[in-house]
Structure 1
Amino acid sequence: MGPPSSDWKTFTTSDGTLSFDYPATWSVKDPAGQAPLGGEFVDVVNAAGKQMAALRTNVVTGTECGDQQPYLLIDSQPMQALTEPGSADQNGPRYVFEARGDFSAAQASPPTIASYGITMMPPETGPTACPMFQLFLWPPSGALFGQAYNPANNTTPGDPGLPYLAKAKLYATTAEYQDVRKMITSLRPAKGPVSEPAK
């Protein structure tokens, strides 16, 4: 596997509110106006046509904890650019690559899942955690930018027979993951003119 991408482009949503950077060899699918509940509905795919992340806005953000599961934090980074003015009393958005469930499971199946994206949940402090909640506040309600880790889409080195969550940890060491992380953490309020929608 090669190094992380060095040539990047910038995409701005059709409503002109959010921008992010992405590798120039990847593409953005933006069927503007086709989201069933309004809002933005954008997919990012790599050069092989495999989806790397989805951006959705106008998402309902309410959540309940439910059953706690064994928890693994693989990666985390604060995202100050998305912090809402006047929300100092809330948890700021963070990029996370995290997992829940059975560490010996061969593949993902509820409740075993790993996912990367943006959350506003406070950092977990114990060995178990509530179900994943990778949403952040964005007018008029909330938004998401990320996706579940899938070894069929997310190119992962090592023994294919490794448990699913072991593969997720390995994926975090790849150049592809570094590109995914850089893309998602570049999400910010848009400034300047709106780009042409991607084809």
Structure 2
Amino acid sequence: MNSHRAAFLTAVAMAGISASLVLAGCGSQPGTPATAPDLAVSNTAERTATLNVPASSSPTAPSTGGVPASKAPAPSAKHASPALKTFTFPDGHISFAYPEAWTVRTILPQAGLPGVEAIVADAAGNDLLTLANGVNAGCTGGPVSRQVFDQAAVPGMAGPNDTEPGFGFVAESAGNGDAYFMGLADPRSLKEGDGVSSWCNLVPTANGGLFTRVHFNDPGFPNKGAAKAWMATDQYAQLKALILSLRYA
């Protein structure tokens, strides 16, 4: 996820996660996941019941990965409920449901740092979403103007100290263009208006923390109207359903 907002983004305070996730935790970020040796897909992925979410439409992301393309895809006219699988991180705590046509691969952070990254790709192999479990992180950021397009509670991820992270899809600006963010976020990142603290998608959990980042191209959208149009697509519905399905056990 990327836009040129470095002027107002401060560094993410990070202990126990790779440099790529440090950058991705707060504000403008690169559009590709961390580079690390691939491990086998977790053997905890299994077939589960079907959720009532739209079926996947033809992928619109380019082969370099990331969603969506700078021109938002047209809404799908045909909807169905896809079969799902469940992925559980190796420590057994955090899980999520995803369309069975998609894939999940896991990698370890660089330099032996703690945590495991799970990268979700669509049926064409385009990376759509990165999640990192068991990390220790925090966010700091400068003031931005934020418009919240969509938000929802994620009851399965209620954290320590009564924190309640939620799903969000937002646009932020610091006067040099809009940046788009989507994922599980700190509640402060879902406040709309001027002078709010910039996006933070690193949330505390009982086993250290969880990071989520939907991969957007640069630019993510030509304008906010295109971003809103993308919300009517199957791709958006399935990514949102995946994030809403997150659960800590």
Could you tell me the TM-score, scaled by structure 1's length?
0.74
> 2: distance between equivalents of 1:64 and 1:102?
15
- Cα deviation per residue 1:134-158 (whole Å; 9 max; x = unaligned)? 1211244321123243379x8xxxx
What is the aligned partner in structure 2 of residue 27 from structure 1?
103
> 2: distance between equivalents of 1:30 and 1:50?
15
> 2: distance between equivalents of 1:94 and 1:115?
13
1:119 has 2:174 as partner: no
> 2: distance between equivalents of 1:163 and 1:4?
29
What is the aligned partner in structure 1 of residue 173 from structure 2?
101
How far off its partner does 1:117 sit? 0.6
SS at match of 1:141: coil
For 1:35, the aligned partner's letter is P
How far off its partner does 1:128 sit? 4.2
SS at match of 1:170: helix
1:59 has 2:126 as partner: no
For 2:187, the aligned partner's letter is M
Q: For structure 2, which runs of at least 5 residues remain unmatched after alignment?
A: 1-75
CA RMSD, Structure 1 to Structure 2 (Å): 2.5
Could you tell me the TM-score, scaled by structure 2's length?
0.60
Whether the 8 Å contact between 2:147 and 2:192 is mirrored in structure 1 is no
1:146 has 2:196 as partner: no
- Cα deviation per residue 1:29-50 (whole Å; 9 max; x = unaligned)? 123xx22222111100001111
> 2: distance between equivalents of 1:142 and 1:104?
31
> 1: distance between equivalents of 2:180 and 2:97?
23
How far off its partner does 1:84 sit? 2.6
- Structure 1's 4 and 118: CA in aligned 2 closer, same or farther, altered over 3 A? farther
- Cα deviation per residue 1:4-37 (whole Å; 9 max; x = unaligned)? 6521111111221111100011011123xx2222
Whether the 8 Å contact between 1:104 and 1:164 is mirrored in structure 2 is no
Whether the 8 Å contact between 1:26 and 1:47 is mirrored in structure 2 is yes
For 2:246, the aligned partner's letter is L
Runs of 4+ in 1 over 6 A off after TM superposition: none
How far off its partner does 1:3 sit? 2.5
For 1:11, the aligned partner's letter is F
- Structure 1's 128 and 171: CA in aligned 2 closer, same or farther, altered over 3 A? farther
Whether the 8 Å contact between 2:148 and 2:192 is mirrored in structure 1 is no
> 1: distance between equivalents of 2:81 and 2:102?
10
Identical positions, percent: 25
For 1:74, the aligned partner's letter is F
> Which of 117, 125, 139 is the matching residue for 1:49?
125
Q: For structure 1, which runs of at least 5 residues remain unmatched after alignment?
A: 106-111, 155-161, 191-199
For 1:129, the aligned partner's letter is V
